[in-house]
């Protein structure tokens, strides 16, 4: 987390609206009223292309329920989002391997999700968000399935 200048933690009881808020900030869901401003810009007013661009380039989203793709391997889940934006496949595979290594998951890189534990899947979903080096990371209970040492790391 030392890479980031600001960390905002949303806390509240189950069902209070944490995930809903995150979905709205990341434009996965629209609020019925109000505004969401990021860097002074009302992001709800962006058109569809600008919204996709904003999500792709600015945001790394760590979903509460991971939202990984079961038909892809661990490493494919991490580098696939980068393929849309960056051309060089060898380079993005290298980046994905580097982050898998940092996450202690390099041995699992070619495994499918059904062969991974819940905590391993959670770390894959964290790696997928971090590998983009986005300006903003939205992390919805990102350590819920990790032991205390892995969570702290």
Ligand X SMILES: Nc1ncnc2c1ncn2[C@@H]1O[C@H](COP(=O)(O)OP(=O)(O)OP(=O)(O)O)[C@@H](O)[C@H]1O
Residues that bind ligand X (CB under 6 A): 12, 14-20, 64
Shortest spacing between CB 12 and ligand X, in angstroms: 6
Q: Which H or E run contains 137?
A: strand 136-139
**Candidate segments 3-11, 13-21, 86-94, 105-113, binder of Mg ion by CB under 5 A:** 13-21
145 binds Mg ion (CB under 5 A): no
Cβ nearer to Mg ion, comparing 19 with 143: 19
Query: How many residues are given for the chain?
Result: 153
Query: Minimal distance in Å, beta carbon 17 to Mg ion?
Result: 8
User: Residue 40 Cβ, how far from ligand X at the closest point, in Å?
Assistant: 26
SS3 80: helix
Supply 58's token pair: 């600015």
Q: CA angle, corner 141, sides to 137 and 144, nearest 5?
A: 135
Residue 61's DSSP bridge partners are 138
CB of 87 to ligand X, least distance (A): 36
48-56, 57-65, 66-74, 95-103 -> range binding Mg ion (CB under 5 A): 57-65
- Cβ count within 10 A of residue 82: 20
Q: Residue 23 or residue 128: which is nearer to ligand X going by CB? A: 23
With beta carbons less than 8 A apart as the criterion, state whether 124 and 76 touch.
Answer: no
Which residue, judged by CB position, is nearest to Mg ion in the bound state? Answer: 19
Task: Please tell me whether residue 21 binds Mg ion under the rule CB under 5 A.
Answer: no
Cα atoms in the 13 Å half-sphere on the side-chain side of 114:
3
Site for Mg ion, rule CB under 5 A = 18-19, 64
């Amino acid at each position: 987390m030392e890479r980031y200048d600001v960390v905002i933690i949303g806390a509240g009881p189950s069902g209070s609206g944490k995930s809903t808020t995150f979905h709205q900030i990341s434009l996965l869901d629209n609020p019925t009223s109000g505004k969401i401003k990021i860097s002074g810009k009302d992001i709800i007013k962006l058109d569809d292309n600008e919204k996709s661009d904003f999500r792709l380039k600015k945001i790394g989203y760590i979903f509460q329920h991971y939202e990984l793709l079961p038909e892809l391997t661990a490493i494919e889940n991490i580098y696939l989002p980068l393929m849309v934006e960056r051309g060089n496949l060898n380079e993005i595979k290298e980046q994905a391997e580097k982050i898998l290594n940092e996450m202690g998951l390099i041995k699992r890189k070619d495994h499918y999700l059904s062969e991974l534990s819940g905590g391993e899947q959670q770390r894959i979903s964290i790696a997928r968000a971090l590998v983009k080096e986005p300006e903003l990371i939205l992390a919805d209970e990102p350590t819920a399935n990790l032991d205390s040492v892995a969570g702290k790391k």
